[in-house]
Structure 1
């Protein structure tokens, strides 16, 4: 199928190029033929007029009898009444029409043009000049032009077919190589020609696309594996407690079993909700836009964390507004606040500041911090550092990934650095609301 498409493209390009060249050649040939025919006719008429002037001068000097002595010229002298007063031997077959420079006429089975010249003593000289040689010349030229046009068009078609085929050969090679790359052979790359032209650029683009696919495939497999593992764990817990209750109904209370099912069900719901949110952020940008008081969201998180027993400093919060989806921005603040509270030893600090058209949200903790080598990796999905891998100490590993996805969807960014408190500082930069 691809080979047929390639041949079809080659055929279409060749046909289009040939038609353009053929049209140009035909128009050029017609224009040349028209100009040449006019030029030859004008030259013939000019020569005939010159000859008529010479004969008229002799007639004025010697009389009309001069015409009868002509052997090769077709000439007649008309008197003032329009009657033939004298004629050459070639003009004895009939009267010449008095149509000076008119279209070609047939006289004595020969194509001629007639010119007239007034005589000084009265009367008119009519001189007919044959144009059969001119017509023969033009017919030869027309034949040569037709043959030349056909030959040039055929040559152009052949050259175009060969050139296009040669130009498309690297494209066909690239197509064949890409077509041969399957999901389990994403490490293969296309040979980039050294031509430095558009074909080389196409090969480079295809290789960069394969690089992205090659990098995305393991991440996707890892994501599916991690998601399956995270979902399997609460299911296994629920199943173990249910089997224990079946084997030892007297030793397991309904309340204990219900509590386990409830807690693990919440974990599964939170994980599924997080995955759905990430999928929605991947598939479409944020559409809902409204003015959001980011300082109010920050104070709400401080109140929530303090109610849970955490020590939180909110002195760095100043009034600031952003535009976006209030639910997503609220989720962003909450994820960072929960992450700080989870890793903090004793204190968390949240700050909000507007500066130069941007709003900065900072979340600090006095925990172990994030090593410099891990500061980008922690924003990947299902990534938890060794310190946070215990189930009671860490979440599903999606909180920071969701935070970054929301920040980027809202036109901002999020990063991590060392905190003045000794742990980690997460900084979110969002555009300020106008």
Structure 2
């Protein structure tokens, strides 16, 4: 009883198996892989080869279509001219027959090669001199009536669509024959006029030969020109690729060659060099940042270690207490420095999306100043009654105001003025929210207005590290403003120094 159950389970498992594990599914996938492999082998791998192949295919199709169209138009034109000449001659003879003026010998005109007139019994009653005495042309094509009866030439006209073999008549084999039927006093007769198609056949053959020889030569020329032009156009790209491949982590100073001209490849090389400039600058900033951070951390750590070692061995409890308090102060400095470094690292990484929640800039300034309490210099607030909204992050904007106030407290003599207002940008005409922090201390020289936003930069190297800070407050403030889509600059001031931050309203 167990064997049937096992067999049924095996069948069910095979039916429930995915297509790629089933034998039939594996076969289909194998065929698909082989097709893709063949297609990959047949498809050129280089842009140069693909461009040449595409241009050659397009030109080949265009030449084929144009050649067929040219041969068709040429054949239609030549056969039409021959048919028109034969029809004019046949109609002229049919008119003579209808008027009873037909003679045994019919003169040739309008480029006709022969004329033959037969009666209803198929007997030749008139002909041109070159085929006089010869039997009637056979086979006789059907004659379709054309035009109303009772016209000036009461004839029914039918034109042979294909050339006839009229070799037995002693004339050229390939003729365009036109048949015209008309009523005469002796009964109905059929007038047949033939025009040689030798010139038309020769023109068609010559044209076909020229196209058969010229089209491959033209196609080959297009392929060679496309191959050379594409190779010449892609040569700078290969030079750029080679140079970029040679630029390693330790060779970011190298740049790719910029070709002459103002085409897409030139712009690509220029953009590539600009990117390498940014990478080089970022690496230099990273190295400088690491070196400065190590220098800033080494001093408080060394002082902290010294204080703890002295406190551990000193016998006086009061001295040990003072040393421990100093160690705690250095620990606070280390903690603040570490927090600044972490914030800079987060700002360098960049936010996923720019903050969009509306925040009252005036309210942040008012709350920050109240939380700081009494300080060395008085803070004067100049805030509007209405809200000044800025799309941003409240925590980061609070840190911005704190850093600007800390910097102002270090350099102010007596007072600090903080203003928040709306202003129209003269360049774009858009309304912006503005935060200004002004102190009555020493003015900042124009040459130092950009340098103070560099990390670990101190304009006064002789000042105390305890009061001067680590030189990260203003760089953090600048990064925060830039992440909010704004600008932070040192504003012109008659007395002291002023920092102005502009934020877009929306």
- Please, what TM-score do these two structures have when normalized by structure 2? 0.71
- Corresponding residue of 2:69: 31
- Corresponding residue of 1:424: 497
Q: Within 2, Cα distance between the matches of 1:272 and 1:353?
A: 34
Q: Secondary structure at the match of 1:164?
A: helix
- Name stretches of at least 5 consecutive residues in structure 1 with no aligned partner: 1-5
| Contact 2:380–2:415 under 8 Å retained in 1 | no
Q: Within 1, Cα distance between the matches of 2:101 and 2:505?
A: 109
| Contact 1:112–1:128 under 8 Å retained in 2 | yes
| Contact 1:73–1:90 under 8 Å retained in 2 | no
- Corresponding residue of 2:224: 158
Shift of 1:41: 0.7
- Corresponding residue of 2:393: 325
| Contact 2:159–2:177 under 8 Å retained in 1 | yes
1:61 aligns with 2:101: yes
Q: How many residues align?
A: 420
Shift of 1:37: 0.8
Q: Secondary structure at the match of 2:489?
A: strand
Q: Within 1, Cα distance between the matches of 2:113 and 2:353?
A: 97
Q: Secondary structure at the match of 1:94?
A: coil
Shift of 1:339: 1.3
1:98 aligns with 2:145: no
Q: Within 1, Cα distance between the matches of 2:50 and 2:296?
A: 56
Q: Using a 3 Å threshold, how does the CA distance of structure 1 residues 51 and 292 change in structure 2: closer, same or farther?
A: same
389-398 vs 251-260, which deviates more?
251-260
| Contact 2:436–2:501 under 8 Å retained in 1 | yes
Shift of 1:332: 0.8
- Corresponding residue of 1:347: 415
Q: Secondary structure at the match of 2:469?
A: coil
Q: Within 2, Cα distance between the matches of 1:326 and 1:286?
A: 15
43-52 vs 379-388, which deviates more?
379-388
| Contact 2:355–2:484 under 8 Å retained in 1 | no
Q: Using a 3 Å threshold, how does the CA distance of structure 1 residues 328 and 105 change in structure 2: closer, same or farther?
A: same
94-103 vs 54-63, which deviates more?
54-63
Match of 1:51 among 89, 92, 101: 89
Q: Within 1, Cα distance between the matches of 2:275 and 2:355?
A: 32
1:285-434 → structure 2 map (5 Å cutoff): 287-307=354-374, 309-319=375-385, 320-323=387-390, 324-356=392-424, 357-387=431-461, 390-417=464-491, 419=493, 422-432=495-505
State the Cα RMSD in Å.
Answer: 3.6
1:203-352 → structure 2 map (5 Å cutoff): 203-241=269-307, 248=313, 263-282=329-348, 283-284=350-351, 287-307=354-374, 309-319=375-385, 320-323=387-390, 324-352=392-420
- Name stretches of at least 5 consecutive residues in structure 2 with no aligned partner: 1-43, 144-157, 168-172, 425-430
Q: Using a 3 Å threshold, how does the CA distance of structure 1 residues 310 and 367 change in structure 2: closer, same or farther?
A: same
Encode CA deviations 1:264-283: one digit per residue, 9 max, x unaligned.
55444433433343344342
1:118 aligns with 2:181: yes
Q: Using a 3 Å threshold, how does the CA distance of structure 1 residues 186 and 115 change in structure 2: closer, same or farther?
A: same
Q: Within 2, Cα distance between the matches of 1:174 and 1:266?
A: 51
Q: Secondary structure at the match of 1:40?
A: helix
Shift of 1:242: 5.2
Shift of 1:399: 1.1
Q: Secondary structure at the match of 2:159?
A: coil
- Corresponding residue of 1:3: none
| Contact 2:160–2:179 under 8 Å retained in 1 | no
- Corresponding residue of 1:20: 58
Encode CA deviations 1:14-47: one digit per residue, 9 max, x unaligned.
2222233333322222221111111011011112
Q: Within 2, Cα distance between the matches of 1:17 and 1:203?
A: 27
| Contact 1:359–1:430 under 8 Å retained in 2 | yes
Encode CA deviations 1:161-211: one digit per residue, 9 max, x unaligned.
112222222333343344434444444445545545555444444444444
Q: Within 2, Cα distance between the matches of 1:142 and 1:54?
A: 36
Q: Within 2, Cα distance between the matches of 1:327 and 1:273?
A: 14
- Corresponding residue of 1:10: 48
- Please, what TM-score do these two structures have when normalized by structure 1? 0.81
| Contact 1:364–1:424 under 8 Å retained in 2 | yes
- Corresponding residue of 1:77: 117
Q: Within 2, Cα distance between the matches of 1:18 and 1:240?
A: 81
| Contact 1:52–1:115 under 8 Å retained in 2 | yes
Q: Within 2, Cα distance between the matches of 1:256 and 1:27?
A: 100
